[in-house]
């Protein structure tokens, strides 16, 4: 099994930078995903990390430290449309399972 | 580009009734997943299929069953519905990176909202 820990809620100002942290424990590790989910809509893929370090993709970057069981999602130049839940999802390859399990998500509110 | 298609988008049922949700994955994707998301909750993994065979099982109740057909579409069957089954049900598909590659990105459908009265 796995434990995934993220802050429940965060608030940030339009134009600012925000970092959403995620810690996890898995019995086997096969990459970590970040998804964005607006209320009542489907999760959409943001980033994937399998090696340690920073992956940059436009305004969004994601960092991974496998030894620490830690990842963060960095959102720059925040826009109002970034108000959403952000889901951390490590892929646990332990016991032959390759399912993706989501954390409880961080609800980000961007204010003017 | 083709996406994951789910139907119906909305469904209202009475307690103890049966419901069936359908999912059409992205063409050439070999794995289908079903997730349940209650109000204010994270998506909970139910079950997945790889090449039409069940590959992983999560917190799927015994009252639920699922299968993947020869045309790769999948159906989630829910019987003896309870009020607590009211949720958004997402189907996702992935593929193209090899079965055991962690890089297989799940692409989600828009979801089916089930309301049990």
Query: Residue A2 above 70 pLDDT?
Result: no
Determine contact: A70 vs chain B, CB below 8 A: no
Cβ pair B108:A44 closer than 8 A: yes
Of A79-83, B92-96, B99-103, the range with the lowest mean pLDDT is B99-103
Of A7-21, A47-61, A84-98, B101-115, the range with the lowest mean pLDDT is A84-98
Looking at residue A95, what is its pLDDT? 53
Looking at residue B104, what is its pLDDT? 80
Looking at residue A94, what is its pLDDT? 65
Instruction: State both tokens at B80.
Output: 């003896």
CA distances to A58, A109, B57, B98, B106 from A101, in Å: 26, 24, 12, 19, 11
**A17 to chain B, closest Cα gap in Å:** 24
Query: Residue A1 above 60 pLDDT?
Result: no
Of B3-12, B55-64, B102-111, the range with the lowest mean pLDDT is B102-111
Looking at residue A72, what is its pLDDT? 98
Collect all residues of chain A within an 8 Å Cβ-Cβ radius of residue B102: 30-31, 48, 50, 91, 93, 98
Cβ pair B56:A98 closer than 8 A: yes
**A15 to chain B, closest Cα gap in Å:** 27
Query: Residue B8 above 50 pLDDT?
Result: yes
Kindly report, residue by residue over A12-69, the tens digit of the pLDDT: 999 999 999 999 998 888 889 999 999 999 999 999 999 999 999 899 999 999 999 9
| SS3 sequence of chain B | CCCCEEECCEEEECCCCCEEEEEECCCCCCEEEEEEECCCCCCEEEEEEECCEEEEECCCCCCEEEEECCCCCEEEEECCCCHHHCEEEEEEEECCCCCCCCCCCCEECCCEEEEEC
Q: Which residue of A has its CA nearest to B108?
A: A42
Collect all residues of chain A within an 8 Å Cβ-Cβ radius of residue B45: 99-102
Kindly report, residue by residue over B22-35, the tens digit of the pLDDT: 999 999 888 899 99
Instruction: State both tokens at B42.
Output: 């994270």
Q: Which residue has the higher pLDDT, A69 or B100?
A: A69
Cα-to-chain-centroid distance, residue B86: 14
Q: Which residue has the higher pLDDT, B102 or B17?
A: B17
The whole-number average pLDDT for the span A73-100 is 87
* Residue of A50, A99, A103 with shortest CB distance to B48: A99
Collect all residues of chain B within an 8 Å Cβ-Cβ radius of residue A45: 105-107
């Amino acid at each position: 099994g796995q434990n995934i820990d993220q802050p429940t809620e965060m608030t940030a100002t339009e134009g600012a930078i925000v970092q959403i942290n995620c810690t996890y424990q898995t019995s086997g590790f096969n990459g970590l995903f970040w998804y964005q989910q607006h209320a009542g809509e489907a999760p959409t893929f943001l980033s994937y990390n399998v090696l340690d370090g920073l992956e940059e993709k436009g305004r969004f970057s994601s960092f991974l430290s496998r030894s620490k069981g830690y990842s963060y999602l960095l959102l720059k130049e925040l826009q109002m449309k970034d108000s959403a839940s952000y889901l951390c999802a490590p892929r646990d390859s332990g016991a032959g399972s390759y399912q993706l399990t989501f954390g409880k998500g961080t609800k980000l509110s961007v204010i003017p | 580009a083709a996406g994951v298609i789910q139907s119906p988008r909305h469904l209202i049922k009475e307690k103890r009734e049966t419901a069936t949700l359908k999912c059409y994955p992205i063409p050439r994707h070999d794995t289908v997943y079903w997730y349940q998301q209650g109000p204010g909750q994270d998506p909970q993994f139910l079950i997945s299929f790889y090449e039409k065979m069940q590959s992983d099982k999560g917190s799927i109740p015994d009252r639920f069953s699922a299968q993947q057909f020869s045309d790769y579409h999948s159906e989630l069957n829910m019987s003896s519905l309870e009020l607590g089954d009211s949720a958004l049900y997402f189907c996702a598909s992935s593929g193209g990176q090899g079965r055991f590659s962690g890089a297989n990105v799940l692409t989600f459908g828009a979801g089916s909202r089930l309301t049990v009265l």
